[in-house]
Amino acid sequence: MKEITVWDLQTRIFHWSLVVCTLCAFVTADILIFFGIDLVNRDTWLHFHIGAGVAMGILLFFRILWGLQGPHHSRFSSLRLSPKELVVYFDTVRKNIKTSHTGHNPAASWSFLCIIVLGLSALISGVVVYGLDEGRGLLRPLYLGFHSLAEEFKLLHLGLAYAILAVILGHVSGVMLETVRHKTGIITAMFTGRKLSDEAEAPVTMSTPLTVISFGLVLSPLMVILYFANPTETRPQLSAGSPPLYKKECGTCHMAFSPNMLPEKSWIQMMATLQDHFGEDATIDDASKKEIEAFLVTNAAEKSHEEASIKFIRAIGANTPPLRITDITYWKKKHQQIPPEVYARGTINSKINCVACHKWAEYGSFEDGDIRIPRN
């Protein structure tokens, strides 16, 4: 046996870049929360998660290109995908018989194929979720008509993520088993590109354009992640704001809440009980009351396509319409990690002073990228 080059430089960069991007995507999605382990605030890291997903997509696109046009051992044609050969391979593993495969062994071949298929499926489902749940990305036109399907696609996306994790764990277990039991040098080969083999070394020849494109694809993920990790500010494209009468009558004692923060029934009930408005008498003349109520009802949460409005409505469901925004389950979930002392800061001073942290709160926009929590 002699040492030959098996894995070209692009393939090695792809392999370790995919490892890093996948790890970033898993951590920032906080998939362990399903098991009750809450590591990160997913919304805080959403843009980083999107960046990691896009980077994975670029890497998978490269690997498909490389599987068609790359060196011999990187091509799909070199994979050992015969079910019979896979059964024989597992039998040799069970019997602790050392085998020699210059490129992918049967198990690694199937793992590679599963990661490509599941990775692309997770990418597509992620793009769909981003469009349905956030109203952003390539499929943002789906948001208005199909946002109610967001939860179903989230479950699909999560299921695919767990499937990828299962394949990765199986692959890593196999690599470690081969490394410990038979000292095959699989891990080292993914750094050096060289392995011991009885086969002749296959010459690597490719055109200059293919070389440039391949390196461009495998080296771009880092820049992609950095780009998405620094989101631009989101300026809401809503109305010009609340009418002067509403600001005068309702914005004197507290923030003039955007009407899309509560459903229609909540506003009607609130306007009908102004004589006891959270312990205060907020009675106003009938004409002003009718004008303000009309504004609130016309622009209530049911009429809005803002993400927060849609999720408020989902959280409320068929329950009694709340009078306090802070009583909504979705609001509680989004703010559960904020300690009480934060609300006591002078620039905030109250849980209902939304505009202190959400720059465009008065316009009914609560995008994660616009959140700035004051330090004092």
Delimit the domains of the chain by residue range. 2-228, 244-370
Among 40-54, 95-109, 210-224, top mean pLDDT goes to 210-224
pLDDT per residue as tens digits for the range 326-336: 988 888 888 88
Q: What is the pLDDT of residue 145?
A: 79
**CA gap 157, 163 in Å, rounded:** 10
Provide mean pLDDT across the span 102-111: 91
pLDDT, greater one: 315 or 293: 293
Q: What is the pLDDT of residue 318?
A: 62
Q: What is the pLDDT of residue 148?
A: 80
Provide mean pLDDT across the span 338-367: 87
Q: Report residue 32's pLDDT band, with 50, 70 and 90 as the boundaries.
A: low
Architecture in CATH for domain 2-228: Up-down Bundle (1.20)
Average of per-residue pLDDT values in the chain = 86
pLDDT per residue as tens digits for the range 184-211: 778 898 999 888 777 778 777 788 899 9
pLDDT per residue as tens digits for the range 131-151: 888 888 888 888 877 888 888
Provide mean pLDDT across the span 118-128: 95
Q: What is the pLDDT of residue 17?
A: 94
Nearest to 99 by CA among 174, 190, 15, 16: 174
Provide mean pLDDT across the span 25-39: 69
This prediction has a pTM of 0.74
Residue 108 has pLDDT above 60, yes or no: yes
**CA gap 184, 71 in Å, rounded:** 22
User: 305 Cβ partners below 8 Å, 6+ apart?
Assistant: 135, 143, 144, 147
Q: What is the pLDDT of residue 310?
A: 84
Among 24-28, 44-48, 57-61, 191-195, top mean pLDDT goes to 57-61
Residue 319 has pLDDT above 70, yes or no: no
Provide mean pLDDT across the span 128-133: 89
What SS3 string covers the chain? CEEEECCCHHHHHHHHHHHHHHHHHHHHHCHHHHHCCCCCCHHHHHHHHHHHHHHHHHHHHHHHHHHHHCCHHHCHHHCCCCHHHHHHHHHHHHCCCCCCCCCCCHHHHHHHHHHHHHHHHHHHHHHHHHHHHHCCCCCCCHHHHHHHHHHHHHHHHHHHHHHHHHHHHHHHHHHHHHHHHHCCCHHHHHHHCEEEECCCCCCCCCCHHHHHHHHHHHHCHHHHHHHHCCCCCCCCCCCCCCCHHHHHHHCCCCCCCCHHHCCHHHHHHHHHCHHHECCECCCCCHHHHHHHHHHHHHCCHHHCCCHHHHHHHHHHCCCCCCCCHHHCHHHHHHHCCCCHHHHCCCCCCCCCCHHHCECCHHHCCCCHHHECCCCC
Residue 238 has pLDDT above 50, yes or no: no
Provide mean pLDDT across the span 28-41: 62
pLDDT per residue as tens digits for the range 55-64: 999 999 999 9
Placement of tokens 């990418």 in the chain: 123
Q: What is the pLDDT of residue 41?
A: 55
User: 3 Cβ partners below 8 Å, 6+ apart?
Assistant: 194, 195, 196, 197
Phi/psi of residue 371, each to 5°? -75, 125
Phi-psi region of 137 (alpha: psi -120 to 50; beta: other; left: phi over 0): left
Position 28: which residue type? T
Q: Report residue 53's pLDDT band, with 50, 70 and 90 as the boundaries.
A: very high
Nearest to 244 by CA among 291, 314, 196, 309: 291
